[in-house]
Amino acid sequence: MSKALQIIHDIAEMKVRGAHLIAQTALEALMMRARELALEGAEVCRTGVLAAADQLTAAQPSMAGVENACAFVVAPLRAGETEGWSARQIEGMIAVRAAIFRERFQAAQEAVVRTGATLIRDGSTVFVHSYSGTLLAILQMAWEEGKRFAVVGTESRPYGEGRVLASALLKHGVPYTLITDAAIVHTLPRADLALVGVDTFLATGAVVNKMGTLSLALACRYHAKPLYAAGSSFKFSVASQRGEAVGLKTRPDDAGIAPPELADDPRLTVENYFFEIIPGRFFEGVITEYGIRPPFAMLDLWAQTQAALAEDTP
């Protein structure tokens, strides 16, 4: 298996964590695939890169950032604008467009982190769910700014992504209380606000995120605690704008949900859901590169981002 195809496989198997990092890694995979196929001729390079883009999109259907990254990079191939080009020209175009998207994407991420850090106050307690590279960066920045606060976070069953976030923040010096997912309602009253990452923004204002986020949202509504979702406009789902349903990734393994003595019982069915949709009305706001906005503003924000990308494209 080539290095690029191995990366695509790793993304599908969730060996890369965090929606922002996964999209960045997808860009690397596309550039690498173009380099791998450039020696085999223009047509092989063209079809191979398009296939890689489709594989990456299918690998993470719940993460619009991956689809948007791939769609932007291969747009000239889809539109037939590279007819008559050499393989090296195609490879160069992929590299240029990937760099354009990556630069804007990274700048947006940094703006999200700066905005999110302003929500953290000295002496506050922040409630989090699952692992998010964006949340990690927000909390690290707030700590580095001299704010002293505590974090309460779920373990995020069944894979325990919340434990990964706990480990990273503890190494940074942030006090952390790790709880079971079932203890959300019981523990939330001690928090001042709740923060989650975002895998996808929908045109309806809803947010796609790790399973258990809706439970947190309902608990926040019950206890009157503000809930914010942090992510850039690059995570907007264009498919949702067309009225199409977003793919909610499930996992084929049971992740240890079933006890060993029952795992092979043919009468037992284990449903290992991974992502869910949280209606926009549950969020106090979404933390974006354009500031803290209502969830329903994401469609307009994505239009601004597309216009900026167009300006950067030769």
Q: Decide: helix, strand or coil at residue 195.
A: strand
Distance, in Å, from the CA atom of 208 to the CA atom of 201, rounded to the nearest integer, reads 6
Distance, in Å, from the CA atom of 202 to the CA atom of 206, rounded to the nearest integer, reads 5
Q: With contact defined as beta carbons under 8 Å apart, do 7 and 29 qualify? A: yes
Q: With contact defined as beta carbons under 8 Å apart, do 277 and 292 qualify? A: no
pLDDT at res. 13 = 80
Distance, in Å, from the CA atom of 249 to the CA atom of 4, rounded to the nearest integer, reads 22
Q: Which domains, ranges and CATH numbers included, belong to the chain? A: 3-109 (1.20.120.420), 112-297 (3.40.50.10470)
What global pTM score does this model have?
0.91
pLDDT at res. 177 = 98
Distance of CA 107 to CAs 103, 111, 119, 233, 303, Å? 6, 6, 20, 12, 17
pLDDT tens, the chain, 314 aa long = 789 899 999 898 878 877 888 999 999 999 999 999 998 999 999 999 999 999 999 988 888 999 999 999 999 999 999 888 999 999 999 999 999 999 999 999 999 999 999 999 999 999 999 999 999 999 999 999 999 999 999 999 988 999 999 999 999 999 999 999 999 999 999 999 999 999 999 999 999 999 999 999 999 999 999 999 999 999 999 999 988 888 787 776 677 788 888 878 889 888 888 899 999 999 999 999 999 999 999 999 999 999 999 998 87
Could you tell me whether strands 125-128 and 291-293 are parallel, antiparallel, or unpaired per DSSP bridges? unpaired
